[in-house]
Amino acid sequence: MRSAFPDSNRQKSGNPGPENFTVRAHAGATRESALVIRIDGELHPYGRQLVWPGVAALADLPAASVPIGVSSQGLPIGVQIVGPFLADRTLLKLAQMMEAEFGGFVAPAGY
């Protein structure tokens, strides 16, 4: 993970810590442990899906989620792309090209 974090992300102690992040509650905030999503009829903790975006952020790499189509049930499908360190513009250009190629986001019926 990028040589175990760059110097720019280190605290005075030399270790990255929660001080690097600001978290704010919003009006609809609930305990993450209470949030579940149904996937193929089974309930799963909502927070599990947050692991993958966190990997890129933890390594200080640019990442983007790109819509690439819809499922047979009409639900949006997307992918996360992760770029090399300091390649933000290249990653955004790739995301733009992918969105153009796949047609962009289509909201599910009823939204």
| Range among 6-20, 45-59, 64-78 with highest mean pLDDT value | 64-78
pLDDT at res. 47: 80
Residue 64 to residues 2, 23, 24, 54, 56, Cα–Cα distance (Å):
18, 20, 22, 12, 10
pLDDT at res. 48: 80
In a domain, 13, yes or no: no
In a domain, 110, yes or no: no
Task: Quote the domain boundaries for residue 53.
Answer: 29-102
Confidence bin at 109 (pLDDT 50/70/90):
confident
In a domain, 5, yes or no: no
Angle at 105 between CA 102 and CA 109, to 5 degrees: 120
Summarised one tens digit per residue, pLDDT across range 72-89 is: 988 889 999 999 999 999
Structural domain tally of the chain? 1
Summarised one tens digit per residue, pLDDT across range 4-32 is: 555 544 444 454 555 555 555 555 555 65
In a domain, 20, yes or no: no
Distance, CA of 63 to CA of 56 (rounded, Å): 6
Rg of the Cα trace of the chain? 17
In a domain, 9, yes or no: no
